[in-house]
Amino acid sequence: MFLDGLCFITNRKNNNLTCEEMVKRALNAGVRWIQYREKEKTRREIYNISVRLRKITQAFNAVFIVNDHTDIAYAVNADGVHLGQEDLPLIEARKIIGDKKIIGISTHTFKEALDAENGGADYIGFGPIFHTTTKEAGIPKGTEILQELKSKIKIPVVAIGGITLENIQSVIKTGVDAVAVSSAIISGDIENNVKAFYEYITAN
């Protein structure tokens, strides 16, 4: 299974480090799944950073996923792409990136989750579970819906949105396959935060 219990989603807003430096620190602490998310840079800049992140993640034998940009994911030979509801349709992304690559889909409702599974997604991100300042993601879903979702969805479910060291236990108890975290990792000491998350993840 390509999934590690913790996905680190890059976020430059709460840290003075470069994206590459943040990723290196997360990898050094044990993360083996990186999702590069960038909403403000040009596509050329995103491509250039993706090239560097691909080399860094390969050195750690870590999974590297590019957010939104299927063509860039293909160009840098990333392990896959993560798409939102307003991005390229899954069926079209699959034509570009191929059958052997990973495609994840952001979902916020049962219907979106089922549509993603039926459309051939390799995993779904579901949320926001809690309030998040990372992006405008809508009303928090809470943890109860995750248990019901896990009973109906066969592909891996990744919980996302406002997950912290204070609430991660309630998320893990639902049986989700992984959690995706951004702000709670880069706020403060990245290495210590990652290790603390893994303590909760591996204990369950």
So which residues are the catalytic ones?
A: 37, 106, 135
**Range 18-24 contact pairs with CB under 8 angstroms and sequence separation of 24 or more:** 19/49, 19/53, 20/49, 20/52, 20/53, 20/56, 22/186, 22/190, 23/53, 23/56, 23/57, 24/56
DSSP E strands in 17-171: the ranges are 33-36, 63-67, 80-83, 102-107, 123-126, 157-160
Distance CA 141, CA 108 (A): 8
